């Protein structure tokens, strides 16, 4: 059956074991890719003819902004999988995504503001992309707030899954509404970064950083999801087996 | 004798009539959002230099922030009492489309906060210096926008209805989702006051309202069912 792998991943002991095996295979490439990207971006890439060395913050800013959106999509998809198939593992993955996504969003906002200082002369400009990043942060905070407010973990899972699903429908609407809102107010942004004409010496480190950040996210997610599963299934028998300890409860039955 | 069977339309009508009657018996509570809207739009001129040209510039912001907050004010009670006394459970069990019944309850929220706001908006807009010719545009934008706000807000109300300490969580859930409505609504109002064509933002507001009316009932039913468990 084609779906066997899917159901197998739905089993907490199997996921716990496989995630533990996979995590280092993402963590080490992440470290190597980020190191190579930083050397290339901060050292080897030429300074921008307009922005000087100030542009180099893109090597942190762009991957963080990309991940802030991607993590939300991963979170909403696994929440939807949990809602449809009632899978503990999917809920654990969704719950682990929230804090990671919020951190990447905050990082993208902070680096965007630092970048804005030399480029626009202020830390905060109502730039459409920065503004929609801010609204995305509020979406993450709302998701985490709702989870925190509900004591029962099963209900928290399902309620926050509904919220994430509603949110993922809204994310593109919010994004484009903010872009139209701003383009109606001011002339096209100063930040017209020459995407098609970006030289390879600048582009390659950026791609390395994107890949590195993504691998870092996967490693982080697998590790956090394992922790989340341990917390949820703390009374289950397989935990004792997996950790190689004998618990009173496990051995009694 | 089997009990008389009620169709969906009859049940939804009875539900709307019941909720309206309950609201009428507590007219003080029901009028609060309207009073809140008027107070907010009065505070703007007090906080600013009351020059007509300046007021005209902030009128869209004042009207729409007021509309958004007053819609939010009544949301907390939308499902709370019915969840506590078991009414919602009966509605979920009665065999009629739950989505539709919840949509009827959301319609009552709009009738009590959105519609009065649309009716009183000319007064507030005139006080903020909007010309008479701008009224049809402002009313159309508020009509569509308040519908979308009630629908989006209902999902947040459904998700938080069974929480004891709700506080500002409902606002945190609803306000980011309502940002597009605020953007296009304020834009349409600004264009109406400037005497220009406001078709673009108005169409987008209508699209958001239609999309919300299509998708919200399902999300709302799922949220309320989780809250009832």
pLDDT in tens, A228-249: 999 888 888 888 887 776 555 5
* Shortest distance, CA A18 to any CA of chain B (angstroms): 32
Q: In 3D, which of B227, B213, B176 has the Cα closest to residue A138?
A: B176
Q: Do B226 and A162 touch (CB under 8 A)?
A: yes
Residues in contact with B121: Cβ distance below 8 Å, sequence separation at least 6, in sequence order: B63, B138, B139, B142
Q: What pLDDT score does B2 carry?
A: 54
Q: What pLDDT score does A151 carry?
A: 87
Q: Which of A196-200, A210-214, B100-104, B165-169 has the lowest mean pLDDT?
A: A196-200
Its ipTM equals 0.88
Chain B contact present for A168, CB below 8 A: no
Is a pLDDT exceeding 60 seen at residue A160? Answer: yes
Is a pLDDT exceeding 90 seen at residue B21? Answer: yes
Residues in contact with A248: Cβ distance below 8 Å, sequence separation at least 6, in sequence order: none
Q: What pLDDT score does A246 carry?
A: 56
pLDDT bin (cut points 50, 70, 90) of residue B1 is very low
Interval A50-70 mean pLDDT: 87
pLDDT bin (cut points 50, 70, 90) of residue A183 is low
Interval A175-201 mean pLDDT: 62
Interval B64-83 mean pLDDT: 89
Is a pLDDT exceeding 70 seen at residue A72? Answer: yes
Q: What pLDDT score does B68 carry?
A: 92
Chain B CB contacts of A146 below 8 Å: 159-160, 169, 173
Q: What pLDDT score does B199 carry?
A: 87
Average pLDDT over all residues of chain B: 89
Q: What pLDDT score does A253 carry?
A: 42
pTM (2 d.p.): 0.89
Please give the backbone phi and psi of residue A229, each rounded to the nearest 5 degrees, phi first.
-65, -40
Q: Do B172 and A138 touch (CB under 8 A)?
A: yes
C-alpha–C-alpha distance, residues A160 and A149, integer Å: 10
Is a pLDDT exceeding 60 seen at residue A194? Answer: no
Q: What pLDDT score does A252 carry?
A: 43
Q: Residue A52's beta-bridge partner residues? A: A48
Interval B30-38 mean pLDDT: 88
C-alpha–C-alpha distance, residues B26 and B46, integer Å: 31
Chain B CB contacts of A179 below 8 Å: none
- The residue among A172 and A52 whose pLDDT is bigger is A172
pLDDT bin (cut points 50, 70, 90) of residue B51 is confident
Is a pLDDT exceeding 60 seen at residue A143? Answer: yes
Q: What pLDDT score does A1 carry?
A: 56
Nearest to B183 among A139, A165, A178 (CB): A178
Q: Do A173 and B180 touch (CB under 8 A)?
A: yes
Percent of chain A scoring above 70 in pLDDT: 89
C-alpha–C-alpha distance, residues A62 and A136, integer Å: 15
Average pLDDT over all residues of chain A: 85
Is a pLDDT exceeding 50 seen at residue A191? Answer: no
Residues in contact with B148: Cβ distance below 8 Å, sequence separation at least 6, in sequence order: B178, B181, B205, B208, B209, B212
Interval A32-60 mean pLDDT: 84
Q: Do B165 and A149 touch (CB under 8 A)?
A: yes
The pLDDT tens digits of the residues spanning B183-207 come to: 999 999 999 998 888 888 899 999 9
Is a pLDDT exceeding 60 seen at residue A184? Answer: no
- R_g of chain B computed on alpha carbons: 19
Q: What pLDDT score does B166 carry?
A: 67
Q: In 3D, which of B170, B52, B72 has the Cα closest to residue B117?
A: B72
Distance of CA B179 to the CA centre of its chain: 14
> How many interchain CB pairs under 8 A, A with B?
70
Q: Do B172 and A169 touch (CB under 8 A)?
A: no
Task: Provide, for chain A, the percentages of residues in helix, strand and coil under a 3-state DSSP scheme, each rounded to the nearest 5.
Answer: 80, 0, 20
The pLDDT tens digits of the residues spanning B74-131 come to: 888 889 888 888 889 998 888 888 999 999 999 999 999 999 999 999 999 988 888 8
Q: In 3D, which of B133, B137, B138, B177 has the Cα closest to residue B157?
A: B177
* Shortest distance, CA A35 to any CA of chain B (angstroms): 36
Q: What pLDDT score does A108 carry?
A: 93
- The residue among A43 and B175 whose pLDDT is bigger is B175
Is a pLDDT exceeding 80 seen at residue B165? Answer: no
- The residue among B7 and B216 whose pLDDT is bigger is B216
Q: What is the DSSP track for A213-229? A: HHHHHHHHHHHHHHHHH
The pLDDT tens digits of the residues spanning A81-139 come to: 999 988 889 999 999 999 999 999 999 999 988 888 887 788 887 877 888 899 999 99
Interval B173-190 mean pLDDT: 92
**Nearest Cα residue in chain A from B224:** A159
Interval A168-174 mean pLDDT: 88
């Amino acid at each position: 059956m084609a779906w066997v792998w899917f159901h197998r991943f739905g089993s907490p002991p199997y996921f716990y074991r496989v995630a533990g095996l996979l995590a280092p295979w993402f963590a080490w490439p992440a470290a190597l890719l980020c190191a190579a990207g930083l050397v290339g971006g901060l050292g080897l890439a030429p300074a921008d003819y307009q922005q000087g060395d100030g542009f180099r913050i893109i090597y942190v800013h762009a991957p963080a902004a990309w991940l802030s959106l991607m993590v939300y999509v991963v979170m909403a998809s696994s929440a939807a999988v949990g809602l449809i198939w009632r899978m503990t593992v999917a809920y654990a993955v969704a719950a682990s995504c929230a804090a990671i996504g919020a951190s990447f969003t905050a990082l993208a906002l902070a680096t965007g503001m630092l970048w804005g200082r030399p480029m626009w002369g202020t830390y905060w400009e109502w730039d459409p992309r920065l503004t929609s990043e801010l609204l995305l942060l509020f979406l993450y905070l709302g998701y985490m707030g709702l989870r925190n407010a509900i004591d029962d973990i099963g209900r928290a899972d399902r309620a926050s899954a509904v919220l994430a699903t509603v949110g993922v429908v809204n994310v593109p609407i919010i994004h484009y509404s903010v872009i139209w809102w701003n383009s109606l107010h001011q002339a096209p942004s100063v930040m017209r970064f020459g995407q098609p004409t970006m030289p390879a010496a600048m582009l390659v480190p950026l791609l390395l950083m994107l890949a590195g950040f993504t691998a870092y996210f996967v490693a982080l997610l697998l590790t956090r999801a394992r922790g989340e599963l341990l917390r949820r299934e703390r009374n289950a028998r397989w935990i004792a087996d997996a950790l190689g300890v004998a618990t009173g409860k496990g051995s009694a039955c | 004798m089997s009990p008389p069977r009620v169709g969906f339309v009859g049940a939804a009508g009875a539900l709307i009539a019941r909720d309206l009657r309950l609201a009428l018996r507590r007219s003080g509570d029901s009028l609060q959002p309207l009073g809140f809207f008027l107070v907010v739009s009065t505070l703007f001129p007090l906080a600013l230099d009351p020059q007509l040209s300046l007021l005209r510039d902030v009128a869209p912001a004042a009207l729409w922030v007021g509309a958004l907050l007053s819609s939010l004010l009544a949301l907390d009670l939308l499902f709370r009492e019915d969840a506590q006394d078991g009414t919602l459970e009966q509605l979920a069990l009665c065999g009629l489309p739950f989505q539709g019944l919840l949509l009827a309850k959301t319609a009552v929220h709009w009738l009590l906060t959105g519609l009065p706001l649309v009716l009183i908006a000319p007064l507030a807009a005139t006080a903020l210096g909007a010309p008479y010719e701008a009224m049809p545009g402002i009313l159309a934008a508020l009509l569509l926008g308040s519908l979308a706000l009630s629908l989006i807000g209902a999902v947040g109300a459904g998700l938080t209805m069974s929480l004891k300490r709700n506080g500002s969580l409902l606002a945190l859930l609803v306000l980011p989702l309502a940002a597009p409505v605020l953007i296009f609504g304020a834009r349409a109002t600004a264009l109406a006051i400037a005497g220009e064509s406001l078709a673009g933002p108005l169409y987008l507001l209508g699209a958001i309202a239609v999309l919300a009316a299509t998708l919200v009932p399902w999300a709302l039913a799922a949220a309320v069912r989780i809250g009832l468990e």
